[in-house]
Amino acid sequence: MTHPIVAGRAPIAVALEAGNTYYFCTCGRSHRQPLCDSSHRDSDFSPKAFAVEDSKTYYLCMCKRSSNLPFCDGTHARLDDEA
């Protein structure tokens, strides 16, 4: 499987509102990180739709390798130099 582009090596804080649907960039190509801007069109990736229960700031994954996408799980701290 092709790995996504690492958009960052630290999570990004994003204020999200309950009741909205968001589309998380899974390919790493979006210019609107961490959200999708349809840059994935020529790839095997698709955005991940998600919603939150509470309106607050969340830390979203920028390395695109979290096991809990779109939320950061600390995987970025274990990326090797080729990621």
Token pair of 50 as six digits? 């998600």
pLDDT attached to residue 82: 47
pLDDT in tens, 35-61: 999 999 989 999 999 999 999 999 999
pLDDT attached to residue 47: 98
The band of 2, judged by pLDDT with boundaries at 50, 70 and 90, is confident
pLDDT attached to residue 65: 96
The 3 state secondary structure assigned to 22-64 is EEECCCCCCCCCCECCCHHHHCCCCCEEECCCCCEEEEECCCC
pLDDT attached to residue 83: 43
pLDDT in tens, 67-77: 999 999 999 99
Three-state DSSP state, 13: strand
